[in-house]
Amino acid sequence: MLFFSYFKDLVGREVTVELKNDLAIRGTLHSVDQYLNIKLENTRVVDQDKYPHMLSVRNCFIRGSVVRYVQLPPEEVDIELLHDATRREAR
């Protein structure tokens, strides 16, 4: 629940989603759900030459289970707040 709420607050930000198959996709976070499925707008693949499959994809839905990382801009991340929240969640 914690990260679901956290991502809901990040809607509208530019993020890079790195998948377990090594594909990295940059886009604006449009929405997220309880499974941490991610919908991105204004999508572009980070290494376009290696992954020509998605040249014309502008909006996409990414299944939560295939995400390895969600790379966030450092200005958006309040480390102390996250640290406290995760500690409380773990209890």
Partner 1 sequence: MSWAGPDDIFLSTSLATYLDTNVVLEGACERVIVGDLYCDIPLGLYVIRGENVVIIGELDLEKEELPSRMNPVSEDEIKRAQKAEREATDLKGSMRKRMEFLDFD
Contact residues for partner 1, defined by CB under 8 A: 19-21, 25, 37, 43, 48-49, 52-63, 65-66
Minimal distance in Å, beta carbon 80 to partner 1?
A: 34
Cβ closer to partner 1: 48 or 86?
A: 48
Residues 6+ apart with CB under 8 A from 65: 35
Residue 36 CB neighbour total at 10 angstroms: 15
**Ramachandran angles phi, psi of 87, nearest 5°:** -65, -40
Q: What is the DSSP letter of 39?
A: E
62 and 40 in contact (C-beta within 8 Å)? yes
Minimal distance in Å, beta carbon 71 to partner 1?
A: 17
Cβ closer to partner 1: 62 or 70?
A: 62
Minimal distance in Å, beta carbon 87 to partner 1?
A: 32
Cβ closer to partner 1: 21 or 91?
A: 21
